[in-house]
Structure 1
Amino acid sequence: MLVSVNTLSSFLALAGFTSAAFYKRETTSISLYAYGGTLGGLNVFYADSLAYVGFVSPVGASVTSNITVNEDASDDTVAWTITANSTDASSIDGMELYIIPTNGSFAQVGFVSSTNTSSLPTGAVTTGFSWFGKNAAYDDPSGALNLFYWAEPVTETDGLWRLMWNQAGTPTNGSVPITLKNTAPLPATPDANTVAELLL
């Protein structure tokens, strides 16, 4: 069958349209780790719609889970959603990460159902998240990248911190500035004496 130049160009245009229509952005699933102060790469986790850092759960929390964050690094207008790493907390799957970047705010980072964003705290946003190298950042409407994550110790529970967004930039209640990275801490390498003791 002979194909004219016009027909061939129409086929090519249609093929290009089809591939563009079915193109899907790549979503990456990651874990977030807090570094700074005495926090050497502790993971961020979910507890009752709020974000915490550490290795123990808040007292009285009804739903807690380690989480995976699903993000599209190419588009900061797409919310970062979470997936529970435990099957008994699957009800939190698809919730969106939020911060409150209003002037002077110091507020805990949280999660909201994508079907109930009307319950967001005043001034909260679920989009604008991006990366500065391996550090999680917030790209504000002016185009500036902000890295105002802080950890505030939970006084009644050792080894637990609230993950905060500190637009005010000043310490509160013993809080410390941290960075959120998508890289896990390296495992500790035992020294020669420790290895020798383990072999005895």
Structure 2
Amino acid sequence: MVALQNLILLGLPATIAGAAIEARAPGAPFALYAYGTGIGGAPVFTSGSKAYIGNATLLQDTEAAPVEFTATSTEELVGSPNTTSNEPTPTWSNLTLLVPETTSDSHEVGFTNSTPGSGMSANGFTFYGEVLLHKGNDGKLKSLWYAVPLDQDGIWSLEWNSTGDDTTGQIPLTLSATAPAHGNGKSQTE
């Protein structure tokens, strides 16, 4: 946990070149949590296509649920809903996480149950400890995650590669398989 806090406090470099990193995903299944200024471990969730972080119930969509991931041998992350018995079960499952390629005009992180569209990458996900990185076409490991607040407090849009995105309120993030100690995904100062 101390190593994760140091990465968050010191900031994970946007690109890690030449580092000897052993690709090893956390034990399956696992959740991903976002850490950044004012975001202290908000879970990744979806309603079936777009990726968000925060409290899924605030989206007011019965399809919205936190995602439980498994890693594949082709460096893909496949997610299914993580719900309790008293919550409605979404109709989506086995969705593959997607990030836009750095040359794409899009910044939205999403999910698909089919072949990724042009300009989207579904593989190359690897972990540095518990921190999620993506290996681009250039072979470099990158952490280009950021959040954009939505109109609803407690929910952010999960985005990738802020270059060319002038949306106000962007928050650089680290995505980790380590759950927050306080459990609510809010800043520890709140």
TM-score, with normalisation over the residues of structure 2? 0.72
| DSSP 3-state at the match of 1:45 | strand
Q: Contact 2:130–2:177 (CA<8 Å) still a contact in 1? A: yes
Q: Which residue of 1 aligns with 2:172?
A: 177
Q: CA deviation at 1:162?
A: 0.3
- Counterpart mapping for 1:52-131 below 5 A: 52-57=52-57, 59=59, 61=61, 63-72=63-72, 75=73, 77-86=74-83, 88-103=88-103, 105-113=105-113, 116-117=114-115, 120-131=116-127
Q: Which residue of 1 aligns with 2:182?
A: 187
Change (3 A) 1:181 1:59: closer
| DSSP 3-state at the match of 2:119 | coil
Q: CA deviation at 1:78?
A: 3.5
- Counterpart mapping for 1:138-153 below 5 A: 138-153=134-149
Q: Contact 2:40–2:180 (CA<8 Å) still a contact in 1? A: yes
Comparing both chains, which one has the higher relative contact order based on Cα–Cα distances under 8 Å and sequence gaps of 6 or more? Answer: 2
> Could you tell me which of 157, 162, 165 is aligned with 2:160?
165
Q: Rg bigger for which structure? A: 1
- How many residue pairs were aligned? 155
Residue identity in the other structure for 2:91: S
Distance 2:63 2:78 in 1: 17
Distance 1:78 1:169 in 2: 27
Q: Contact 1:102–1:167 (CA<8 Å) still a contact in 2? A: no
* CA shift digits 1:16-48 (9 cap, x unpaired): xxxxxxxxxx97211100001100011111124
Residue identity in the other structure for 1:69: F
Q: Contact 1:82–1:92 (CA<8 Å) still a contact in 2? A: no
TM-score, with normalisation over the residues of structure 1? 0.68
Q: Contact 1:81–1:97 (CA<8 Å) still a contact in 2? A: yes
* CA shift digits 1:33-91 (9 cap, x unpaired): 0001100011111124111111154656451111201114xx4x242101211374353
Question: Taking every aligned residue pair, what percent have the same amino acid on both sides?
Answer: 28
* CA shift digits 1:104-155 (9 cap, x unpaired): 6451111101xx32xx34300111100122210001122210000000000x
- Counterpart mapping for 1:17-28 below 5 A: 28=28
> Which ranges in structure 1 are unaligned for 5 or more consecutive residues?
1-25, 189-200
| DSSP 3-state at the match of 1:63 | coil
Q: Contact 1:45–1:66 (CA<8 Å) still a contact in 2? A: yes
Distance 1:54 1:129 in 2: 22
Q: Which of the two has greater helix per residue? A: 1
Change (3 A) 1:37 1:170: farther
